[in-house]
Amino acid sequence: MPSYAVHLKKWGDQGKALAANAAELSFLEPKRQRLAELLTLAQDLTAEQNTLTARKQEVTRQLAAVIAEGRILSTFLMVGVREHFGSRAEKLVEFGLQPFRSQPRIQVVGLDGKPLKRRAGTTAAD
């Protein structure tokens, strides 16, 4: 399908040819005038569309700047909240933050179900 610009160029050329032969094609005059009106309207709408596209790009840039600044500010504030309440406080959940919760200690048991004594310097993963 041809682009809008191709249609507009074609309509302009057709309108000029019809106007040049208006005496011979007088029965088509009302339709030629309507095509000329549509051509003008389409050109105006194309210009408006281009203006809106440029405006949209500017708004998109502004939005990106606002989001970037907001992310930095939000991070700063949440660091302050974590500093104030402490990294382990359950109050952090209220702010959408995950409190630090240490992993439960794993107790190694033998085949009889009784805990095994660890040697010094070993970990549960050994």
**pLDDT higher than threshold 90 for residue 84:** yes
Domain membership of residue 103 (yes or no) is no
Give one word for 121, left, alpha or beta, with left for phi > 0 and alpha for psi -120 to 50: left
pLDDT in tens, 90-113: 999 999 999 998 877 777 888 887
Number of domains making up the chain:
1
Domain membership of residue 51 (yes or no) is yes
Domain membership of residue 113 (yes or no) is no
pLDDT in tens, 62-81: 999 999 999 999 999 999 99
Domain membership of residue 21 (yes or no) is yes
Domain membership of residue 56 (yes or no) is yes
d(CA 48, CA 70): 32
Residue 57 is part of which domain span? Answer: 4-95
